[in-house]
Structure 1
């Protein structure tokens, strides 16, 4: 008697990611595949057919990723991305604060209109879950510490204002149409693949390239730095938690700790066994009323709803990031000798 064939394994659930080619998006794509999902990953259309950081993922991971070139500013692109997905993770955004002073219209187009297009596509397609990405910059300088999700919104840059606009649209679609959206508000994510417009890769990249005189902006602001793998896990947590626990809500993701830019730079010098001469550059300092002086997260709501908590402390995350930038192949992708905005 012939033994019955084993039942086929269930097909992995399909999820979609906007901004998948970027720093956090590429780490999230890896995490989603590791969790058993198939990922339809949107990278912004470009004439080089570049897939950004997705090109560095392992062949095994990419075997579960369908990369499409598109643009969240185009409704048709978003509709095609969302179709058939069980969940959508919306990370596509313009994020560099200094450039938002120069090109604010482009931030509204991407961060507000792009978010509107994602919300409309999810609404039309009946997608079961949308995870929308916010930013701690929407809070502005902390009025109370640690910052809970009920802290007032005070946008101090065009970037922050554009992200707050997307947040408000997400809230309104849940209230008006029952769109199953949950908003994740990560604090300052760092780690391998981050661009040089952020302070940690700026410092590590300059040291790895042989510089000992480090040029930065204001050294006084404090930040709550969250390692990128913990950020990716926070996205998975709100993307897969029971709807009644997360839908229609906003969640901070952070460690609850803070460190000033100056102290952080000294710590990086210690971990890289290098004496640094740190200098402030006026060009890198935000306008007087635009600098956010203090950010530190209260992530207790996220822990209570999903059980998430950080798995890496600051020194562990910095160690992994230093290893990444010390690799000549990785460092060669960056321009460490210029001010990257």
Structure 2
């Protein structure tokens, strides 16, 4: 199948383009920055460019291109609207004109994080599946991604396109741009308990969704490493996460201590990816258990960490 992949030079794109090709697809990469997997340098906000690319035999679109949360400090709000909303509209309109039967859209769990969730002040961990809602998103990134999701649902209904909306948890390689309480690798390892997945798993979910969404209409999926916790543990997670972790992983504290790391004292949100397993047959291969296995065997950690990473568009 000939695919248009947006965001092909970005962090997700560098994992996703090779996986799509390995699955037998011809990939046309579109990005505002040059890259090894980018054949066309341009913006999804350019309606004529998008229309011409899709009209040239493209059979489906995987839309991973976007401005992200760190870009809030770099770009005005209008740039988020142009890229994340107008760009998505341009792609959906082109897909509808071409009669596509599927569309994969990279969304984000960030749009589920309201100010109250962000405050981490709840007496019980928020269990965040696809039905979770706690008020409007807290920033322009979340607002524009929520609007783009709405466009996906509208086009799915009006044009009978099967659309997979993939709300990915964290998989960026750089350090957190707002929370530096822990070293980067330590923080990323902790996040596999409740809110992170590997970039390779994020890419594989898109490949699976491309066929898995057929016949499903428009469906939203939260993507994260499978949490080891039960919903009955949410109050204790917010009160004493280390006690809960010790029940599930008795040697975690010792493994962390040997590396000079800290386990989280509290966990106040848990992303639940069960729907993706149920409807797509997808689950992440890398988990918190994988991290501990690497620590036990003194092997490389099973996730990417690069504090110096910059998106290619910033380098360009």
Which residue does the alignment assign to 1:243? 214
1:13-52 matched pairs, under 5 angstroms:
13-44=1-32, 50-51=34-35
In structure 2, the CA distance between the partners of 1:275 and 1:302, relative to structure 1 (3 Å rule), is closer
- Extract structure 1 runs of 4+ deviating beyond 4 A: 141-144, 195-205, 270-277, 315-318
Cα shift at 1:21: 0.7
Match of 1:150, SS state, is coil
Match of 1:174, SS state, is helix
Match of 1:249, SS state, is strand
Say how many residue pairs are matched: 267
Distance 2:157 2:69 in 1: 30
- Structure 2 unaligned residues grouped into runs of 5+: 118-123, 230-236, 243-251, 292-299, 311-316
Query: Which of 224, 227, 245 does residue 254 from structure 1 map onto?
Result: 224
Distance 1:33 1:243 in 2: 20
Cα shift at 1:139: 1.0
1:67-146 matched pairs, under 5 angstroms:
67-83=39-55, 84-97=57-70, 99=72, 103-141=76-114, 145-146=126-127
1:220-239 matched pairs, under 5 angstroms:
223-239=194-210
String of CA shifts for 1:5-47, please: whole Å, max 9, x gaps.
xxxxxxxx211100011001221111111111111111215xx
Cα shift at 1:197: 5.7
Cα shift at 1:256: 3.7
8 A contact 1:271–1:319 mirrored in 2 = no
Normalising by the residue count of structure 2, what TM-score does the alignment of the two structures yield? Answer: 0.70
Which residue does the alignment assign to 2:234? none
Cα shift at 1:135: 0.6
Cα shift at 1:97: 4.3
Which residue does the alignment assign to 1:155? 137
RMSD of aligned Cα (Å) = 3.9
- Structure 1 unaligned residues grouped into runs of 5+: 1-12, 56-64, 208-213, 278-292, 326-330, 336-341
Cα shift at 1:76: 1.5
In structure 2, the CA distance between the partners of 1:229 and 1:102, relative to structure 1 (3 Å rule), is closer
Match of 1:92, SS state, is coil
In structure 2, the CA distance between the partners of 1:255 and 1:66, relative to structure 1 (3 Å rule), is closer
Distance 2:61 2:176 in 1: 27
In structure 2, the CA distance between the partners of 1:313 and 1:276, relative to structure 1 (3 Å rule), is closer
Cα shift at 1:67: 1.4
Distance 1:243 1:320 in 2: 31
Match of 1:168, SS state, is helix
Distance 1:231 1:92 in 2: 14
